Amino acid sequence: MLAAGLAIGGLGLLAGVGLAVASRVFYVYVDPQIIEVEEALPGANCGGCGLPGCSSAAQAIVVGQLAPNACVGGGPDVHTKVAEILGVEVELKEPEIAQIGCRYSVAKADIKYLYDGVYDCRAAMLLNGGAKECPIGCIGLGSCVKACPFGALSMGDDGLPVVHEDICTGCGTCVRTCPKDIITLTSVSNRILGEYTTSECTAPCQRTCPAGINIPEQIRQTVLGNYLEATRIIKERNPLPLVCGRICPHPCEFECRRNLEDEPVAINYLKRFVADYERASGRRLQLFKAPETGRRLAVVGGGAEGLTAACFMARLGHSPTVFEAMPKLGGLLRTVIPESRLPRDVLDWEIEGILEMGVEAQTGKSLGRDFTVASLLKEGYEAVLLATGGWDAMLMRGQEPNVEQSVPGLYLLLPVSLAWALGIDVPVGKRVAIAGGGEMALDAAKHCLQLGAEQVTIFHRRSQQELGLPDSELTKLSDQGIQLLFRSTLTQLKGIDEQLTQLVYRQLASGNGGDSIRSAPGRFKETFLAVDTVIAAGGRLPEMIFVKVPSLEGEESPLLWQTISPYHEPPPVRTEGVFDTSEPMSDYRAAVEAIGAGRRGAASVHLYLAGKQVIPPENMITTVTKVLDVGQVENLMPAEPRQKMPERTTEERVDPSLEVELGLNEEMARQESARCLNCGLICYTRSKYH
C-alpha cells in the first residue's frame, strides 16, 4: 500500500512539474482589456460583426480593427460600455433590422414541385431551386427562424417569416441562412439609397414608379386604415405626396395587373387621400433622420428636384442649404402649374415639411449673380448639387433668358446662338468644346473661330457613318481648326477657382464598326482635354455635383474642383456622360421624374462622401429590364368599378384659384384600396385563397 501511495504521489508530482513547465513554455498573454470587452459583449456569437465569435470580436475591437459599436447584437448599452472600457466616445449608428422580401407563402403561390425531404430551406434549395415557380419566393421551411440567435423571427400564419422589430438586432444570421436571399438587413438610409433590382420581389406598379414608392405596401396599409403609415411609406421615397397626388401622370397605373381584367387601381387618388389625411390631421409625420454628420452641402435650385435632394440629404444626416433664384421655393410647381390643379397652400405645406427636416433655404439668390460654385466650395460646402433646370425653365418662369456663365465655362447652345444672332458678344476663349448639336454645332464652331478661338472640338455620341459625314468634309473642317470626335461623350469637368480648365471624355476604341456610345458601353478609352469653354446642345443645365479636389498646397492655394455625375439608369438605357440626351421635358411627368432624380442626387452625394463609387447598384431594374411577369390573371376577386374622382361643378369652377378635383372620401378610399391585388413578382391576391 505504501509503495502504491508513493508511486501515485510521484506520478502526481511529476505531472505537476510537467504542467508548470508547459505553462511557462506555452504561455500566451491575453490582454486584460480584451477579456473585459468580451465580458461586456452579449456572447451570442452571431457573427453580425463579420467575425466568427465574440472572442474574435473583442480582440478586433481592442486593436482597432472594429469600432466600439461593431457588435450588432449588443445594442447601445453594450456599445457605450465597450467605449468606456477603451476610453473613447462611441459614434451613433443607425440601427438595421431584417426585412422579408416575399409576399406569398408556398400555400398561396404557384407551386413548382412538392418537396418532402429534409425540413431545411438550404436542403430544399439544392433540389430544383425550392418549391415555388417564382425564383425569388420564400421556401417556407423556417430555417431562418431556427438560426436566429435572439428569437427575433417566427413563422407567421401566412407561412412567411415575421420579424419582431423590437427584438431584432440586425446581426444578419437570417440573411446568411436564407438560400434564396430574400432576407436583407434594412434601415431608413438603406431604403433611401436603394434601387429595385432583379433579385427582389417587386410589383409592376412599383417598378414603374419614377419615385420608386413601395406601392403595394402603401395600399395595404390603406386597406387596414393605417393612413399615416401609408403616408410614411410614400415619404420614404417621395417627400411631395400632396403634389404628386394632384399632378402625377401615374405611369404606375398603366402597369397595374387589374388592366388585364378591368380597370387599374386608382393609385394616385389613394396617394392623395392619405397625404390629405396627414395634412387634415394637423400632425405632420416625424420621419426618421440618420445621426448628424455635420457635413454641409449646397443644392442650387429650389424646384421639385432640388427640394427632394435637400430633403433626403437631411434625412441621411447631412446639413443641406437650398439656393433658389426666385423669391419663393417651388420652381415650376409654383410658377407654371395653375392653382386649380395645385393650390399654393398645398405646395407650401409640402415645402414647410421639407424645411422642418433641417433644410436651410436662401431665396432670391441666383447662381452666377449672387454666388458661384467656387464661392460655395470656399465657404465650406463639401459638395454642390446643381438642380437648376435650364433655359426652357427660365422662359416658363417668365424670366428673361441670358447667357451668363452660371457654371464656370459652360454655356447652352441655343441661348448662345440666339445671342450671336442678335449681335451680343459672348466670349469663348481659345479652346472650345461643343457637346452634340448636329448642324447647329458646326455653325457655332465656325462662329467661335471668328471670335478668336484657336481650336474647337465637337463631340458626337454617334459614329461618322451614322452622321453621314465624308472624310473630305472632316479634312476641310480640320484645316479650319474644327475637330470632330465620334462615339464620344463628356464625363467630367475640372477647373481652378472660377475658370474651367479641363474636361474628361470617353470615346469608343477603334474597331467597333458603326457602334454608338450608347449601344456599346464600356469599350472606351478616357482622355483629358484642356478647354476654356464648353457649349452644350440641350435645353437645360445638366445635373452635376461639384466637389473640391484635394490639394497638397497651403490654404492660400487656388481652389481645384471637379464634377461628378449623379447616377441614373445604367447604360445602355441612359447614355453616359455629363450631357444626357434623355432628359425629361418641363411637364407634369417631369415633376415625379425630378423627384426620383433628386433622391438619386442625394444618394450620389452621400456615396461620394462615404468614399464609394457613384454608380447604380448591380442588376438595377430599368425601363427596359426584362422582369418575370404574368400575361393574364386568373380567379380574380369579384370585379368592382374604379372610384371616380369627385370634382367641382362647372358653375363652381368660375374661381380659377379653387381646386377642381376634390379628393376621395374615406369610404371611397377603402373600397378602392381593396381592389389592389397586392402583387408580387408573379403572384397576386386570388379569390380562391379567401
Amino acid present at 28: V
Span 138-145, mean pLDDT?
94
The pLDDT mean for the chain works out to: 85
**pLDDT at residue 587, as a whole number:** 43
Q: Which residues pair with residue 367 across a beta bridge?
A: 371
- Per-residue pLDDT, averaged over 157-184, amounts to 92
Nearest to 264 by CA among 277, 276, 251, 273: 251
Local structure of residue 51 (DSSP, 8 states): S
Does residue 216 sit in helix, strand or coil?
A: helix
For residue 536, tell me if it sits in a domain: yes
State the sign of the Cα–Cα–Cα–Cα dihedral 158, 160, 161, 162: negative
472 band by pLDDT with thresholds 50, 70 and 90? confident
Least confident range from 311-315, 399-403, 658-662: namely: 399-403
pLDDT at 98: 92
Residue written as cell 389613394? 270
| CATH code: domain of residue 109 | 3.30.70.20
Q: Quick one: pLDDT at residue 586?
A: 40
| Shared-domain flag, residues 389 and 414 | no
| Phi and psi torsions of 258, nearest 5° | -65, -15
Q: What is the pLDDT of residues 348-393, one digit of tens each?
A: 999 999 999 999 999 999 888 899 999 999 999 999 999 986 545 5
* Residue 292 backbone phi and psi in degrees, to 5: -60, 135
DSSP character string of 192-226 = HH---BTTS---HHHHH-TT---HHHHHHHHHTT-
- Please state, in angstroms and rounded to a whole number, the distance separating the CA atoms of residues 321 and 105: 46
Asked, for residue 5, whether it belongs to a domain, the answer is no
Average pLDDT over residues 23-40: 67
Asked whether residue 106 falls in the same domain as residue 220, the answer is: no
Q: What does the pLDDT average to over 638-644? A: 85
The model's pTM: 0.86
Same domain? 177 vs 265: no
d(CA 674, CA 472): 67
Query: What's the pLDDT tens digit per position in 547-592?
Result: 999 876 555 678 999 999 998 865 554 455 666 544 444 444 578 8
Q: Do residues 281 and 330 share a domain?
A: no
Does one domain contain both 415 and 522? yes
Q: Are residues 415 and 536 in the same domain?
A: yes
Answer yes or no: is pLDDT of 65 > 80: no
Lowest mean pLDDT among 127-131, 394-398, 595-599, 647-651: 394-398
Q: Residue 685 falls within a domain, yes or no?
A: yes
Q: Note whether 414 and 523 are same-domain residues.
A: yes
Task: Lowest mean pLDDT of 8-17, 110-119, 207-216, 665-674, name the range.
Answer: 8-17
Output the domain CATH number for residue 300. 3.50.50.60
How many helices and strands, by DSSP H and E, does the chain display?
A: 25, 18
Same domain, 423 and 535: yes
Cα separation, 201 vs 260, in Å, equals 20
Percent of residues, the chain, with pLDDT higher than 70: 85
Question: Is the pLDDT assigned to residue 514 strictly greater than 50?
Answer: no
Q: What is the CATH number of the domain that holds 58?
A: 1.10.15.40
Output 442-450 pairs: Cβ under 8 A, ≥24 positions apart.
442/477, 442/482, 443/417, 444/413, 444/416, 444/417, 444/535, 445/477, 445/482, 446/480, 446/482, 447/417, 447/420, 448/533, 448/535, 449/480, 449/481, 449/482
Give the integer Cα–Cα distance in Å for 565 and 596: 15
Q: What is the per-residue pLDDT for 513? A: 45
| Euclidean distance between CA atoms 527 and 491, whole angstroms | 10
SS3 (DSSP) at 479: helix
What the block records as the C-alpha cell of 538 is 440641350
Looking at the structure, do residues 333 and 245 belong to the same domain, yes or no? no
Sequence letter at residue 549: V
**% of residues, the chain, pLDDT over 90:** 48
What average pLDDT does this structure show over 511-540?
A: 69
Final residue before a domain boundary, out of 74, 93, 112: 93
Q: How far apart are CA 546 and CA 382, in angstroms?
A: 9
CB 681 within 8 A of CB 202: yes
Instruction: Tell me which residue of 48, 86, 127, 160 sits closest to 678, measured CA to CA.
Output: 160
Same domain (yes/no): 536, 419: yes
651 and 618 share a domain? no
Residues facing 319 on adjacent strands: 296
What does the alpha-carbon distance between residue 642 and residue 529 come to, in Å, rounded to a whole number? 58
Q: Please report the pLDDT score of residue 487 as a whole number.
A: 87
pLDDT (average), residues 660-673: 95
CATH number at residue 215: 1.10.1060
Least confident of 85-99, 121-135, 303-317, 605-619: 85-99
> In this predicted structure, which of 56-70, 428-442, 638-652 has the lowest mean pLDDT?
56-70
Strand order in the sheet with 482-485: 410-412, 533-536, 431-435, 455-459, 482-485
Residues 6+ positions from 180 with CB-CB distance below 8 Å: 102, 121, 125, 130, 136, 137, 138, 139
When pLDDT is averaged across residues 463-474 and rounded to a whole number, the result is: 84
310 has pLDDT over 70: yes
What is the DSSP pairing of strand 97-100 with strand 183-186?
A: antiparallel
- Assess if residue 174 is contained within a domain: yes
DSSP structural state of residue 117 = S
Please report the pLDDT score of residue 372 as a whole number.
93
**Greater pLDDT, 655 or 179:** 179
Domain boundary among 93, 122, 142: 93
Q: Is residue 10 part of a domain?
A: no
Structural domain tally of the chain?
5
The answer as to whether 557 is a domain residue is no
Q: Order of strands across the sheet with 499-508? A: 360-363, 319-324, 296-300, 383-386, 544-548, 560-564, 488-496, 499-508, 524-530
Least confident of 27-36, 105-114, 386-395, 535-544: 386-395
- Find cell 388585364 and name the residue: 260
Domain containing 171 equals 97-186
- Position 542 scores a pLDDT of 77
Helix H or strand E encompassing 505: strand 499-508
What is residue 512's predicted lDDT score, i.e. its pLDDT? 43
Count of all residues that appear for the chain in the document: 690
Does 506 lie in the same domain as 474? yes
* Residue 327: count of CB within 10 angstroms of its CB: 8
- Asked if 554 and 431 count as a contact pair (C-beta separation under 8 A), the reply is no
Domain end position, chosen among 78, 93, 108: 93
108-117, 289-298, 299-308: lowest mean pLDDT where?
Answer: 108-117
Cα–Cα distance between 262 and 252 in angstroms, integer? 16
Please check the confidence at residue 665 and state whether its pLDDT lies above 60: yes
Q: Are 610 and 628 in contact (CB under 8 A)?
A: no
In a domain, 38, yes or no: yes
Flag the least confident range among 47-56, 319-328, 444-453, 532-541. Answer: 47-56
How do residues 400-447 score in pLDDT, each as one tens digit? 555 666 788 888 888 888 888 888 888 899 999 999 877 888 899 999
Tell me the pLDDT tens digit for each residue of 249-282.
999 999 999 999 889 999 999 999 999 999 999 8
